[in-house]
Amino acid sequence: MAVPKRKVSKQSGNSRFANWKIKAPNLSSCSQCHELIESHTVCPNCGYYNGIKVVEKKVKEKK
């Protein structure tokens, strides 16, 4: 069974978790409508992915 030889200090224990930061998402522009979207996702604005229409945009009808 693995047992630590010496106590791990607070500094070295806490510095292990010091680099967990939230990063800004990598955004790219849509090839059809030029909106900023996340990479490898269908554009929520126009429904295109990699130049191909994947999702039909629904239009709400007014009564």
The residues spanned by each domain of the chain are: 25-57
What was the pLDDT predicted at 57?
78
Residue 49 host element (H or E): strand 48-49
pTM, two decimals, is: 0.56
Check residues 13 and 52 and name the one with the higher pLDDT: 52
Give pLDDT tens digits for 2-50. Answer: 888 888 899 988 888 888 888 888 999 999 999 999 999 999 999 999 9
Compute the distance between CA of residue 32 and CA of residue 55 in angstroms, rounded to an integer: 13
pLDDT band at 53 (very low <50, low <70, confident <90, very high): very high
Tell me the mean pLDDT in the region 47-63.
85
Amino acid 59 reads V
